[in-house]
Structure 1
């Protein structure tokens, strides 16, 4: 999968109004200067020197031409046609299938729902794999046979970032109060915290690269597990799968790759380790209100780190095992998870479809594997939130799988961040950071990124620190954090209600007229619509309101905020965007006519003498003119008669 890992910054902080409950942040060291602009990473003073000298702590390589290819050549995955049969019989069936097909693979481990991992003692080349797959796919006892694909981090360039010394509170603008001038896309966690600061009852699992020790995070971490099965990829001394989710680093140098092309074929070269899992975990569960560091979304968080990614991204099989274990389902050879998660966050996005009818048999089989696991998690009421991906194109897998809550990334001004994928599978957009990498319009439109916990080591763990990043991987955790607050406010909510509430409470997408709508040919910074960016922009405060009264909640009436500026116009032209027509201003209301002068009253006539009473006695009588007056008055008093009302829906 493509994982979103950027680091970026540039413009001076924008002024923001801080909520009463917002924790204070410790000012960072004064940043080092490089090339007359800030490229910073917040940490101890020694980190400042290292960043000034080292540059590019979170740099990610360019797009891989084999980003979703098979890796290593020693593993295949199959699904039995009758996946519901006795689990004890399944290995015997597979042994017979392999023996009769003459395929030199061994039954390794179950993946649930009739899926199994098969391994070869020695890697087979692509021709051998093709022969094995042809034989296995021809066997009626198997429903699917596929290579074990690997998903990779997002191929997006990035630079180190220290927080602004001039205004350190601006570094977490995405948590702060939303306003329509300086903080348009902010999710508004501060307002939600006035209702709830979260609960330890809702466990959030982070399926990622693992975790590094950090003083601003350790207290909120649960014991995790490492699911990276191939020892070389796990980078943990030849162990492979193991207890704990420690991140030893995922850097892969060009020299290391070139030294063993058979092992590293299809893997992305990354000179520096990403510490991606530490960044995501810090967003969700950094220790909060402690007079130091950064704030987390859930002040009482319990974060479950699940390591599924190593030096060669994440194997689909390892990913599925990690998903199932995180939810409390059994995984062969792994102790049962004692802290099942209610929310799973996946910061990866593959470049392939999640269609079980995809013409590529490997892709179709992987899609079925994902769908089976997703169905199991949803059956347990688990919310799966996934990043859309960072390639400016179609939504990646698993965010494009049915049953997954896919999230796109927005710039601080509310339009699509330059890198974010988009499409009909997106459920919501949330701030993901949109840093300055000196691309088109970065000087005019970029923001300062998403600040979180990080490690400062280049390839292996070193000192704990803070960094600013950009990517859909950092937009998805905000939706997960909002869901955690919703369940804290109302633990009785169902999965369906949480998903409905997140979308029903969203603010409309902004309209950046000059940038045009997002299309396949206008895919940089652009205006999202429901068909490309889901229900709108995440609004955490409103989502929590929904959680308190899901049956009666009514969303506020809000219209799209229109954006116009010289920078937007210049950038729209530079991108070649087709501008959205600006609606004409509403006409000024016609002045009210001057009231006519009131005429002076005429003198009252002298009263007529009263008539003599009738001799028939009793009862009295009603004048027909008086009755007509009553009828007329009755018509005038009937509600709505003769009135015209208008409503702007």
Structure 2
């Protein structure tokens, strides 16, 4: 049953609306009155900051000693004039991140001016490679309307009761994403989709699609758990806040449950609604709670989701083929930022990263993690196929997907519909339900779900770069004009075309075997390479759309190597797109305008070589 009073639902990146209807499994009247509430997007523009991420250069004392790392921050506070020379500034070491950076926490928050001064001082330290604030994302909301009772619901195929009447975003010929035709070929079976969000709550229409997951929040206030430790499971305790000194007062959103439903809500079970890749498994990872979530926690979760190692957390037994990030904040993604390094590692692990473009109706270049290199950034469209008025835009948006137009398109056509809990606080105070939300948060999991459909039928998993190319090549044109001042990518996600675009496996004697190469990551040197005369070492790097100035470099060590590079093929001595054959180990190949896809680089021993370093860099 619906709660006795209307409430505000605050959804991270759900820009406009959340509505709920009585749970079909329990309500005596399945057509009870709907209600609508609004929710704004996140903000990374915090008034004060008390946590920072500091990455020290390899080989420095600070990089290997947490006490020295803390001491360097304390010294920078004093040198910046933020504390007196005689004052014992309180700086606490929180932990190491997956990238090897140190998260430190100050005893009191610094305002924008003071935090900028501290970061300038730290950046001037020769031992410091990078420093950034460990920001949290916030969300706010306000009620906008109470909707009328809907008409009787028709029977549909699939037989989920609200599929035909409410889930336009899956099947509408103009604004939908073509799911039914795709389901004839693919359902996501065997694929894992990581949803980094508020966690999940129990729901009969989702439980069978959800793996155990993990809670990555390292702040007890944010998590509502009794410690700062990370723990197994991804239970959503509720993200409501009633303390205005911490962040805006908001009710719980159960945003992660709704997003997970878009990816893999159970389908064809006669209950509720349908999910895009309903035979895939959702790996829920809790990174958002009360007053949002820290950059450092989200970045570590990205690494772990893709199968990477994170200190203090057991190995992920279910690495994800795709990560969904319906979250973010107002800060541009820098080349050496914690987000970018985590995304680079995920891509090197073969994981596609999908992120919401944001809900401020501004250029997404100042929004992270969507503006990070290698991410598939998703804008939001309405049932008309036009731009949702809240959606961020810009050249960085790769493509768009249904996010809902909110009140302007009415009920139910203004919202993306999936499962939720109807409590304003903890899930134990409410019950399982279904709700409509609007935002780029809702658009992104449609894309993540289609990635699962594609990977589920691909004989050999597609690389993240190949997935991005496929989705963009098969996107359909916008049915209405999108102003050139607010670009939303190449078009609208088309699930059926993407599935049809998966190249069938090659069969027969003429087929080439797959290329076996060691993946490398942008701006991450690989050292200690060695081999005999005539021996070859083969590496690969996925280059995202929009990259420029791709450079391959080898250096240091002893002996003599040559470098060969080819696009989408193994370079051979007599067949390579590029080559560098200088005496010694200092080789360099530069490509000003690289193609989107996989480049292969081979080091060939002219003489025996040892301790050689290889690096690939692109902007």
The TM-score with structure 2 as length reference comes to 0.69
Contact 1:208 1:347 in 2 (8 A): yes
Matching residue within 247, 265, 269 for 2:249: 269
Distance 1:498-1:463 versus aligned 2 partners, 3 A rule: same
Q: Which has the larger radius of gyration?
A: 1
1:427-576 equivalences in 2 (<5 Å): 427-436=398-407, 442=409, 447-461=413-427, 462-492=430-460, 493-512=462-481, 517=483, 519=485, 532-549=487-504
Write the distance in 2 (CA, Å) between the matches of 1:106 and 1:59.
38
Matching residue within 97, 104, 127 for 2:72: 97
Write the distance in 2 (CA, Å) between the matches of 1:163 and 1:303.
31
Write the distance in 2 (CA, Å) between the matches of 1:538 and 1:340.
25
1:497 Cα deviation after fit? 1.8
Write the distance in 2 (CA, Å) between the matches of 1:95 and 1:349.
28
Match of 2:46 in 1: 69
Note if 1:192 corresponds to 2:176.
no
Write the distance in 1 (CA, Å) between the matches of 2:142 and 2:330.
14
Distance 1:419-1:160 versus aligned 2 partners, 3 A rule: farther
1:3 Cα deviation after fit? 2.7
Three-state SS of the structure 2 residue aligned to 1:146 is strand
Distance 1:134-1:540 versus aligned 2 partners, 3 A rule: closer
Three-state SS of the structure 1 residue aligned to 2:21 is coil
Cα deviation 1:26-48 (Å, max 9, x = unaligned): xxxxxxxxxxxxx6524256698
Note if 1:248 corresponds to 2:237.
yes
Note if 1:403 corresponds to 2:374.
yes
Contact 1:489 1:548 in 2 (8 A): no
Contact 1:42 1:467 in 2 (8 A): no
Match of 1:594 in 2: none
Contact 2:217 2:287 in 1 (8 A): yes
1:132 Cα deviation after fit? 4.7
1:224 Cα deviation after fit? 1.1
1:133-144 equivalences in 2 (<5 Å): 133=119, 135-144=121-130
1:148-297 equivalences in 2 (<5 Å): 148-153=134-139, 165-167=152-154, 168=162, 169-176=164-171, 183-200=173-190, 202-239=191-228, 241-253=230-242, 256-257=243-244, 261=245, 264=246, 267-270=247-250, 272-297=251-276
Matching residue within 96, 105, 130 for 1:119: 105
Contact 1:408 1:429 in 2 (8 A): yes
Matching residue within 327, 330, 348 for 1:348: 327
Note if 1:332 corresponds to 2:311.
yes
Three-state SS of the structure 2 residue aligned to 1:280 is helix
Gap regions ≥5 residues in structure 1 = 10-38, 357-366, 521-531, 552-649
> As a proportion of its length, which structure holds more helix?
1
Three-state SS of the structure 1 residue aligned to 2:301 is helix
Matching residue within 390, 393, 397 for 1:426: 397
Cα deviation 1:313-372 (Å, max 9, x = unaligned): 12111111111111121222222221111100000132222245xxxxxxxxxx622111
Note if 1:5 corresponds to 2:9.
no
1:491 Cα deviation after fit? 3.8
Contact 1:222 1:303 in 2 (8 A): yes
Match of 2:566 in 1: none
Matching residue within 332, 335, 347 for 1:378: 347
1:211 Cα deviation after fit? 0.6
Write the distance in 1 (CA, Å) between the matches of 2:109 and 2:285.
30
Cα deviation 1:263-311 (Å, max 9, x = unaligned): x1xx3331x2111000000111112221212111123121000111111
Moved more, 204-213 or 122-131: 122-131
Contact 1:209 1:247 in 2 (8 A): yes
Three-state SS of the structure 1 residue aligned to 2:451 is helix
Write the distance in 2 (CA, Å) between the matches of 1:518 and 1:2.
29
Cα deviation 1:91-121 (Å, max 9, x = unaligned): 365255346556532332111333111124x
Matching residue within 383, 388, 393 for 1:417: 388
